[in-house]
Amino acid sequence: MKNKEIIQLSDHFGYKRLIKFVIPSIIMMIFTSIYGVVDGLFVSNFVGKTAFAAVNLIMPLLVMLGAVGFMLGTGGCAIVAKTFGLGDSKRANEYFSTIIYVTIVSGSLLAILGMIFVRPIAALLGASGEMLEDCVIYSRFVLIGLPFFMLQNTFQSFFITAERPKLGLLVIVGAGVTNMLLDALLVAVIPLGLVGAALATATSQIVGGVIPLVYFSSKNSSTLHLGKTHLYPKMLLAASVNGSSELMSNIAMSVVNMLYNLQLMHYAGEDGVAAYGTIMYVGFIFIAIFIGFVMGSAPIVSYHFGAGNTDELQSLRKKSVNIIAITSLAMLISALLLARPLSLVFVGYDKALCDMTTRGFIIFSFGYLFAGFNIFGSSFFTALNNGAVSAVISFLRTLVFQVLTVLVLPLIFALDGVWYATVAAELLSLAVTLTFLIAMRKKYRY
């Protein structure tokens, strides 16, 4: 007898069922984004402005390294879910196992390389003196948890494919709470400074990676299990290509953030980097809502694509667009109302910095009107196993348009041009996303 409490990928999804299914993924992504936010909050208020700027300057590098986990998770998830839709559960579990084992190996190698090259990279980004040393100290401790952070990112997608999104949520909540408690203990109570903040983050990432590893390695009631497998190089290549849009999105975001920091160092110095850090911390949480939604809905799309259920694809596309439209407007209103209060929380100790942050936050917020549609468009094509289109949307949105606007607009509007850049880039990306959605509708019949 079917358990009514478990929503299956093969179900029909009305608004209520769709929202219920994706809510755990949304909350999961919010808690994931809280890692950096909590670190930034404690570092800014208990360690100082220079340390806060250092964390913001080096964070793009750490995000870039962890993005490989997102690539393997999202790209592999689409293949595994499609394989389930085709009725081959044995092969689906072998694919899943291969992806997890490759994530562990690649995460370990990237952590070692990151520790070796973090100093010259931080110097290249403009850090020097105390700020450079802060970048190196923070990064090397955080990189201890990189393999587990990559596992956490990969498992986030596969918890959904395994039809256990609530379990995935509990893992992330546990990791997030660990991060917050250790930040309070190691930064505010025991004044370990940046080392304490980095240890809190690394420990929480270990929690987020080890728990699902143990769960899927043990006997469980889900559809996915870790076990014996083969290398499956063609599948790994396909997963990497299919998930390349997510990798590109994270890498491009990191590169662009570095470019933003360079521009802000030019126009406003350390204060500009600190202001941008605050805006991005809050932005992580807002954007996490969109990412959580598409992460939760993508396996459904992949399953019904594999099963040939075009009516369900059409329904999912329409409902997703409507949900994103309402959410985008709500985000804009919330961001405008919270711009000043949130700026005070992070940098209220410095009035000039707080004023700069508030103004930048208000301008930046209008990008939320368009970002959700672009994130959905890229993810939708990944779920349809069309990594090429997904990568083009992501590449243009997160790199080409961002670089173009952040280089050009400051020449016209000075510091305000940096804040306008993201809004303009999202608007340009929306035109591309809509073009692909219209052009490909007959091929996929969504």
Q: Tell me the one-letter amino acid at 434.
A: L
> Judging by beta carbons within 10 Å of its beta carbon (0-12, 13-18, 19+), is residue 91 exposed, middle or buried?
middle
Answer for the pair 142, 200: CB distance below 8 angstroms, yes or no. no
Query: How does 142-167 read in b/e, with b if 16+ C-beta sit within 10 Å?
Result: bbbbbbbbbbbbbbbbbbbbbbbbbb
pLDDT number for residue 321: 93
Distance between CA atoms of 163 and 227, rounded to whole angstroms? 19
Q: Provide CB contacts within 8 A for 413, sequence distance 6+.
A: 420
* SS percent in the chain: helix, strand, coil, step 5: 85, 0, 15
Measured torsion, CA atoms of residues 193, 195, 198, 200, in degrees rounded to the nearest 10: -80
State the CB neighbour count (10 A cutoff) for residue 191: 11
> Which two structure tokens, joined as six digits, stand for 79?
């293949």
DSSP line for 317-360: HHHHHHHHHHHHHHHHHHHHHHHHHHHHHHHTT-HHHHHHHHHH
Distance in angstroms (rounded) separating the CA atoms of residues 277 and 264: 11
Residue ranges of E strands in 24-175: none
Q: Is the pTM of this model over 0.85?
A: no
CA distance 197 to 201: 6
User: Which residues in the chain come in under a pLDDT of 70?
Assistant: 1-6, 35-36, 245-246, 249
